[in-house]
Amino acid sequence: MSRSRRTQSLLQFGLFAGILLFTNILANSFYSHLDLTEEKRFTLTKPTKTLLRDLKDRVYVRVLLDGDFPAGFKRLQTATKEMLDDFRSVSGYIDYQFENPSLGSVEEVNERRKTLAEDGIVPFNLRVAELGESSQQLIYPVAIFNYNGRQMVVKLLENNSPSLSPDEVINNSVTLLEYKFANIIKKLRSAKRSTILFTRNHGELTDLQTADLERGLQQFYNTDRISLDSVVQLKPEDCALLVVAKPRTEFSEKDKFKIDQYAMNGGRVLWLLDQMDASLDSLSLAGKFISTPYNLKLEDMLFKYGIRINSDVVLDLQCTKIPLQIGQVGNQPQYQLFDWYYHIAAQPEGIHPVVKNLDRVEFSFASSMDTLRTKTPVRKTVLLRSSQYSRMQFNPVELNFEILKYDPDPAKFDKGPQNLAVLLDGTFPSAFENRVSEELLSGMKQLGMDFKSASVPTRMIVISDGDVAANFVRDVASKQTLPLGFNRFEKVTYANKDFIINAIEYLIEPNGVIEARSKEVKLRLLNTVRAKDEQNFWRGLNLALPLLFLGVFGWLFNWLRKRRYAKN
């Protein structure tokens, strides 16, 4: 009887161990979880899932973020692994590996860093404080995606803005992981490249002024210039997006008609328009400058589409700086940086995917904009605006440096936030409705074209500053340019490039993976004052509660055991 009971116990133990082993094998083979978070931070968006299910070949990801890091980077490391696991749970074609580029001998590490630098991958200098001592560590917060012989690099760490705390920077980085990974996979597997056309012959930004923007776009799109008077019709299937980048001379009625009918047939337009003729270079040369409006002849079109750019210049206390000479030591002039209220540092505050989690965007002599009612339903979404400490100077605007001699009076900057970038989305009325002659209609019919008085659902973005997309040209002869958004005075890079590329991607594909940019991961911080006051209580509770639980469990187990065998 004793032997039978022992055998039965051994069989039960063996069965339990077998079930446990089988469960662990299944857990390794399948990845799943239950998302109970308020913002559904661990749930992939539908476009991302659709993209992953359509994969037909292996995507291999090398994450160069292995090693021991402080808590913030450890969180980014863990979040990256969890996101890749989420991707792999949808598609078995996702494989990844974490690597530490700093492992190995000095020669191996140097050679590895040289190879990474050749691919444009530069390290981040991380300062680590331990036991009262500070040390520096070079890390690579990047992931390298490989698909079908193509390779692209994703930065895991967002811009380390001085306006954000380290926790907020890490949180923004974690929030954007899904969008970055899905976006890079979509572009790696894209067989057909859409075409983006920039208008010309109206004084628009030159190739050099848009060089950095186009370099960023040409990884995924074809870009070119188009002269509107050289084509009979502009078709959306030939041009995914039309960019009107800072024109300075008027548009003819024929050119406007072609843009209008392009939009009526579903074409998307990015308007980058300076309303006032003003620039820092012109002001620096003369010391004083009278700014007047450009005569672009686009006001009637934009009015019909639901937007009006006012003939003014917005000033904002939230601005960037410019250098001015304050004296001279010997033969050397001495300069100092001053706030320049005409160069606005706009901080995105909305939750729209175009501006979500973006750093500040620099505007130069921007004008205010009003949204208007339209004949057809057009939704207006403000993407960027100035701060509450804003004011306007109206046409004609006298510009000089005298304003910098006095401390700003916040009471005069009391006009509130002013619209600087607006998304228009819906069905647009034609700007040429009831204005087309019978002769023109007859000519269009002969060419197989139909006039449309209202558009199919489409989108536009209007920005009241053309320079927001222009990089600084250091030398025209050698074609040397600075990165888009880099402020050569402050030595700071603003988010102009990310903003324009996000805007372009949204205009081309609004329901794509860019939807993942609107996800929000809330940063829930501890109450540090309460945590410090109650630290002894919680430490004691964490130590005593497990011991108390074990004690109760042991007593209960022994009591039940004695009761069972006492009956026998």
- Is-contact 228 198, C-beta < 8 A? no
Give the three-class secondary structure for 399: strand
Q: Characterize the bridge pairing of strands 241-245 and 222-226.
A: unpaired
Q: In what order do the strands lie in the sheet with 59-63?
A: 94-98, 59-63, 142-147, 150-155
Q: Quick check: 555 pLDDT over 70? A: yes
Instruction: Return the pLDDT at 318.
Output: 94
Look at 9 and 520; give whichever has higher pLDDT.
Answer: 9
Q: Characterize the bridge pairing of strands 222-226 and 269-272.
A: unpaired
Tell me the HSE value of 413 on the side-chain side, using a 13 A CA sphere: 20
Question: Domain 25-188 has what CATH class?
Answer: alpha beta
Percentages helix, strand, coil for the chain (3-state, rounded to 5) are: 35, 25, 40
In whole angstroms, give the CA distance from residue 56 to residue 34: 27
191: its two tokens? 């067989």
User: Left (φ > 0), alpha (ψ -120 to 50) or beta: where does 545 sit?
Assistant: alpha
Residues 35-92 have pLDDT tens digits of 555 556 667 888 888 889 988 899 999 999 888 777 778 888 999 999 999 999 898 8
Burial of 406 (0-12, 13-18, 19+ CB in 10 A): exposed
Instruction: Return the pLDDT at 71.
Output: 77
Percentage with pLDDT > 70 across the chain: 90
Name the residue ranges covered by the structural domains of the chain.
25-188, 193-518
- Is-contact 257 435, C-beta < 8 A? no
Instruction: Return the pLDDT at 525.
Output: 52
Q: Quick check: 482 pLDDT over 80? A: yes
Angle at 446 between CA 443 and CA 448, to 5 degrees: 110
In whole angstroms, give the CA distance from residue 328 to residue 319: 27
Q: What is the mean pLDDT of the chain?
A: 86
pLDDT band with cut points at 50, 70 and 90 for residue 206 = very high
How large is the average pLDDT for residues 300-305? 95
How large is the average pLDDT for residues 293-303? 95
In DSSP notation, 306-357 reads TEEE-SEEEEESSEEEEEEEEEEETTEEEEEEEEEEEEEEE-----STTTTT
pLDDT band with cut points at 50, 70 and 90 for residue 2 = low
Residues 423-467 have pLDDT tens digits of 999 999 999 998 888 888 888 888 888 899 999 999 999 999 999
In DSSP notation, 101-119 reads TT-S-HHHHHHHHHHHHHT
- Is-contact 336 309, C-beta < 8 A? no
Between the CA atoms of 207, 210, 215 and 216, what dihedral angle is there, to the nearest 10 degrees? -160
Q: Looking at domain 193-518, does it have CATH number 3.40.50?
A: yes
Q: Quick check: 515 pLDDT over 80? A: no
Predicted model pTM: 0.77
pLDDT band with cut points at 50, 70 and 90 for residue 135 = low
Instruction: Return the pLDDT at 108.
Output: 87
